[in-house]
Amino acid sequence: MKRSLDQSLSKFDLKALVRLGARRVICVGLASAIFLHGAVIPAHSDTNLLPGAPQLYTVQPGDSLWSIATRFFREPWRWADILQRNPQISNPEQFFPGDLLVLDQGDADLQLKVLRVEKMSPRLRVVDQNRAVPSIAPDVIQPFLVSAEILQTAELPDSGYVVAGTQGETTLGQFAWFYARDLPYSSAGDYHVMRFGERFIDPDSGEYLGRSVIRIGTAKLISSDETSVLELVYSRQEVEAGDRLVPVKEDAGLPYFFPRIPQVNLQGHIVGIATGVREAGLFSVVTVSVGKEDGVQPGDVLQVTRPVIASDSVAARPVEVPGHSSAYVMIFKVFDKASFALIIRARRPVNLHDHISIPGQSSDV
């Protein structure tokens, strides 16, 4: 049976399949679809390829670029190196449910081909080409896209501020009415309640990197005047006098970026953890000490290492030696001197002040 399967795969003409259509390939027969989906290949000389990686994989609803890449490669951020730029695909870095990914071992290099697929079983199934597979699970980072910033200044531009509750209260809970001043215009009368948080400092240079601003609630305008009245319709924590108010804008869509190795040499540290603790695990959001000024871009993948303090018997003193990679993070929102990043793979917890750098050629995570 194995010999028959290998012979069938060797006769599979990928080039002919690519020529079948500019945007779609029609796959007829449920049995053939199952056969293709289940095929696997032996280990390849490319050490980045996982043993038993699928030769063909059909993109499923709920997949992300990262989850797909981890099916094929030890170092998933490197899969762009072998992604074939098929001329018939307008954007080969955007995948859609139903697309067929073909891992082709030619005489030269390993190639990953993307084929647009529609199935007829028993009728044509139309794939929505407007909903691409996201880079990562959107619910993890969406709150940080619309309700968190890192600012260099001590003020929040275009914002009003909370004065006090209508009964003179200095702390406010959900559904409380309160006074506010200097409110900017909001077409719907809705405002985010924002609060300044942690200050980020580079542990090596002592440079000030910025200050976090987070959303703690939402308020609705009741009456507008020099001193306006609002109702606190939602709050994650108590609102206090002096908290800032900014108009609610339409939620930003999830940005589309491709996990990749940075184009510039980056060195820095973990300087903040969103949960406010000293260590973080998989799918936690952290703040890193590199930003626009360093050339970082959304989608850049960095490795996290923790230095090891060893006892040097010759020097008769403790010395710091390089540690092993403990995790990998992907940048998703960039500011001037710092960025938000998501922990996408972790072998050990990530701690404040852990080092970040460009991933090496091999990974021990």
| pLDDT for residue 278 | 78
The pair of structure tokens assigned to 174 is 């959900």
Is the pLDDT assigned to residue 12 strictly greater than 50?
A: no
Say if residue 22 is in the same domain as residue 104. Answer: yes
Average pLDDT over residues 144-154: 81
Same domain, 8 and 112: yes
Quickly state the pLDDT bin for 6 (edges 50, 70, 90).
very low
Q: Is residue 169, in this structure, part of any structural domain at all?
A: yes
Mode of pairing for the β-strands spanning 25-28 and 117-120: parallel
> 327 in a domain, yes or no?
yes
- Whether residue 201 lies inside any domain: the answer is yes
Q: How many domains does the chain have?
A: 3
CA distances from 194 to 140, 216, 218, 361 (A): 20, 6, 9, 42
Inter-CA distances, 315 with 108, 310, 311, 319, 320, Å: 51, 11, 9, 9, 12
Instruction: Please report, to the nearest 10 degrees, the dihedral formed by the alpha carbons of residues 63, 23, 77, 110 taken in order.
Output: 120
Higher pLDDT, 292 or 147: 292
Identify the residue whose tokens are 């030619």.
106
Instruction: Verify that 7 and 112 share a domain, yes or no.
Output: yes
In sequence order, the β-bridge partners of residue 229 are: 179, 223
Q: Which of 147, 135, 156, 146 is nearest to 297 (CA)?
A: 135
Supply the DSSP symbol for 4: H
Block residue for tokens 């923790």: 306
Q: Residue 128 falls within a domain, yes or no?
A: no
Question: Does residue 261 sit within a domain?
Answer: no
Which segment of 24-28, 235-239, 243-247 scores lowest on mean pLDDT?
Answer: 24-28
Q: Is residue 131 part of a domain?
A: no
Give the tens place of pLDDT for each residue, 43-96.
344 567 888 888 888 888 878 777 888 888 888 877 766 666 565 566 656 778
Same domain, 106 and 178: no
Is a pLDDT exceeding 50 seen at residue 28? no
Residues contacting residue 56 through CB under 8 Å, at least 6 positions apart:
36, 37, 39, 100, 101, 102, 103
Pairing of strands 339-346, 355-357: unpaired
Whether residue 126 lies inside any domain: the answer is no
pLDDT at position 82, please? Answer: 65
| Structural domain that includes position 101 | 2-120
Domain boundary among 90, 120, 150: 120
The tokens describing 248, both together, are 């609610």
- Quick check: is 230 in a domain? yes
15 plus 97 within the same structural domain: yes
Contact of 278 with 351, CB cutoff 8 Å: yes
For residue 100, give the amino acid letter.
Answer: L
- Those residues whose C-beta lies under 8 Å from the C-beta of residue 159, and which sit 6 or more positions away, are 182, 184, 194, 244, 245, 246
3-state SS assignment for residue 139: helix
Report field, pTM of the whole predicted structure over 0.75? no
pLDDT at residue 11 in the model: 40
